[in-house]
């Protein structure tokens, strides 16, 4: 006999076996629900009178079932607190919960690619969400334009033009669920091989490869990415190359846009940390000089947090329809409430204020890191890419020993060897140190541990 109660805001489906008797059947059903964690530890059960009415049982039957489960340790009962599910030890036969990245947080987190998520502007985000939801029409919560909400596309067109020199109109912007989806969409609709920076992020190479595209190395030197070979698209990080940190030299910028115009190939500009510049004037986006040949990609992952899952593409006009169609058939459209909140943050300039505050904080962190690394110069340590971003490349003659010591000291960082297309042919060695990830209270201790690793 299947029963469902809906009391005190709680719905729970119970299978009561009439063959076992009413009391025993209720005991079994509750015990099974607790074991399966359908009733979680701390969950409050309905009062015996209320549950008896809803299940069509005598109150004494329900009370007796509760008492039995209290005696077995499944429930707790206190005057004034009612009856609750007790905290139960894990049984040997239960399946352990799946583990994720957060289950293995390192002692000292200096991994590149992430901001300090503890600095997420929660108060501003809540205010923006309230304002956005109050102003949004009801249809905003239905299936919408695959390109994304017009409010966010309009806000981004103004913001990117003002801060990054991007030539954008709302109709040429597509909102995505982060940069990885943006890159996947471009690879899906662009036939032919992709040139990707060497060294570069291996995960991004995997995204392109999974879309069925052949990936070829695009060498990077002290002037940035070189002119690509005969390919359909080239993916570059002009403002702050990842992971070397070198900015793309003006002659290389011109060479890349000339290549795209001449060949008709697509130049993909990954502006992953364009907002964070410390010792030099910000470099404008390459897209601003060739908007009909460059797909500009950005996201809120470094400025706000990766968990926000909001990114954007500014596309050449002739490539918009294909990307929109691919987006439609991937997930229809990116979630709406976050789009509305981000649009509000941008239009009220709370986004600008947050970025300026984080830029000052990250610069102080960068300065502390550089001072520590300066004292290690005698050990063969040199640094690159310190004028911008959230990471530095630390070249070291013995990368293998450094990564081994890092593991021993609980220091998580990036290994340069993993970023080469063909690690055996690597021309530089070292580690990538991210200074965005640790919260403020843990940063100095992380630098102390890093000094031991690099010494």
- pLDDT for residue 88: 61
For the stretch 164-180, pLDDT in tens is: 999 999 999 999 999 99
Nearest CA-CA partner of 218 in 239, 249, 204, 197: 197
- pLDDT for residue 38: 85
Domains in the chain and their CATH numbers? 2-85 (1.10.10.10), 108-116+358-454 (3.90.1150.10), 119-352 (3.40.640.10)
For the stretch 188-226, pLDDT in tens is: 999 999 999 999 999 999 999 999 999 999 999 999 999
Nearest-angstrom CA–CA distance, 411 and 426: 23
Per-residue pLDDT, averaged over 275-289, amounts to 88
Confidence of residue 81 (pLDDT cuts 50, 70, 90): confident
47 vs 183: which has the higher pLDDT: 183
Nearest CA-CA partner of 30 in 14, 19, 41, 42: 14
For the stretch 347-401, pLDDT in tens is: 999 999 999 999 999 999 999 999 988 887 766 788 999 999 999 999 988 899 9
* DSSP β-ladder status, 215-221 and 294-299: unpaired
Residue written as tokens 């971003």? 389
- pLDDT for residue 163: 95
- pLDDT for residue 121: 96
Contact 184, 211 (CB under 8 A): yes
434 pLDDT above the threshold of 60: yes
For the stretch 88-116, pLDDT in tens is: 654 443 433 433 444 567 899 999 999 99
Confidence of residue 2 (pLDDT cuts 50, 70, 90): low
- Inter-axis angle of helices 179-189 and 320-331, nearest 10: 120
Local structure of 174: helix, strand or coil: strand
- How high is the mean pLDDT of the chain? 91
Per-residue pLDDT, averaged over 7-18, amounts to 67
For the stretch 344-361, pLDDT in tens is: 999 999 999 999 999 999
315 pLDDT above the threshold of 70: yes
The reported pTM is 0.82
For the stretch 237-265, pLDDT in tens is: 999 999 999 999 999 999 999 999 999 99
- pLDDT for residue 5: 53
**Residue 329 CB partners (closer than 8 Å, separation 6+):** none
Rounded to a whole number of angstroms, the distance between the first and last alpha carbons of the chain is: 69
Nearest-angstrom CA–CA distance, 59 and 56: 9
Say what percent of the chain tops pLDDT 70.
93
Nearest CA-CA partner of 178 in 139, 135, 144, 207: 207
Radius of gyration of the chain (CA): 28
| DSSP-derived secondary structure letter, 388 | B
For the stretch 38-71, pLDDT in tens is: 888 888 888 888 888 888 899 999 999 998 888 8
Confidence of residue 80 (pLDDT cuts 50, 70, 90): confident
């Amino acid at each position: 006999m299947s029963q469902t109660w809906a009391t005190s805001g709680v719905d729970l489906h119970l299978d009561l076996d009439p063959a076992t008797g009413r009391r025993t059947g209720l005991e079994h059903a509750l015990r099974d629900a607790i074991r399966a964690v359908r009733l979680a530890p701390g969950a409050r059960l309905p009062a015996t009178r209320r549950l008896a009415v809803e299940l069509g049982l005598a109150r004494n039957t329900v009370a007796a079932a509760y008492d039995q489960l209290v005696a077995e340790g499944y429930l707790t009962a206190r005057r004034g607190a009612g009856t609750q599910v007790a905290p139960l030890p894990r049984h040997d036969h239960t399946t352990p919960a799946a583990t994720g990245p957060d289950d293995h947080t390192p002692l000292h987190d200096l991994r590149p690619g992430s901001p300090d998520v503890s600095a997420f502007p929660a108060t501003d985000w809540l205010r923006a969400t309230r304002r956005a939801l109050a102003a949004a029409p009801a249809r905003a919560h239905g299936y919408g334009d695959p390109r994304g909400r017009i409010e966010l596309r309009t806000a981004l067109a103004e913001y990117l033009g003002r801060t990054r020199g991007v030539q954008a109109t709302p109709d040429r912007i597509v909102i995505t669920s982060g940069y990885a989806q943006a890159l996947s969409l471009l690879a899906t609709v662009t036939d032919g091989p992709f040139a990707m920076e060497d060294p570069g992020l291996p995960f991004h190479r995997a995204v392109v490869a999974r879309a069925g595209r052949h990936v070829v190395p695009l060498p990077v030197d002290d002037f940035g990415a070189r002119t690509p070979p005969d390919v359909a698209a080239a993916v570059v990080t002009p403002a702050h190359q990842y992971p070397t940190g070198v900015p793309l030299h003006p002659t290389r910028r011109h060479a890349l846009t000339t290549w795209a115009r001449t060949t008709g190939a697509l130049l993909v500009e990954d502006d992953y940390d364009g907002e964070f510049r410390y010792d030099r004037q910000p470099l404008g986006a390459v897209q601003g000089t060739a908007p009909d040949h460059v797909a500009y990609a950005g996201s809120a992952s470094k400025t706000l947090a990766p968990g926000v899952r909001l990114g954007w593409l500014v596309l050449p006009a002739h490539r918009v329809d294909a990307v929109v169609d691919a987006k439609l058939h991937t997930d229809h459209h990116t979630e709406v409430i976050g789009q509305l909140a981000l649009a509000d943050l941008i239009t009220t300039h709370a986004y600008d204020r947050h970025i300026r505050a984080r830029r000052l904080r990250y610069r102080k962190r960068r300065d502390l890191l550089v001072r520590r690394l300066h004292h290690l110069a005698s050990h063969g340590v040199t640094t690159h890419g310190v004028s911008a971003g959230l990471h530095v490349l630390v070249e070291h003659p013995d990368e293998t020993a450094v990564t081994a010591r890092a593991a021993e000291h609980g220091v998580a960082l990036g290994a340069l060897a993993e970023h080469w297309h063909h690690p055996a042919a690597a021309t530089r060695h070292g580690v990538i140190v991210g200074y965005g990830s640790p919260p403020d209270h843990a940063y100095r201790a992380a630098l102390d541990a890093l000094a031991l690793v690099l010494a």
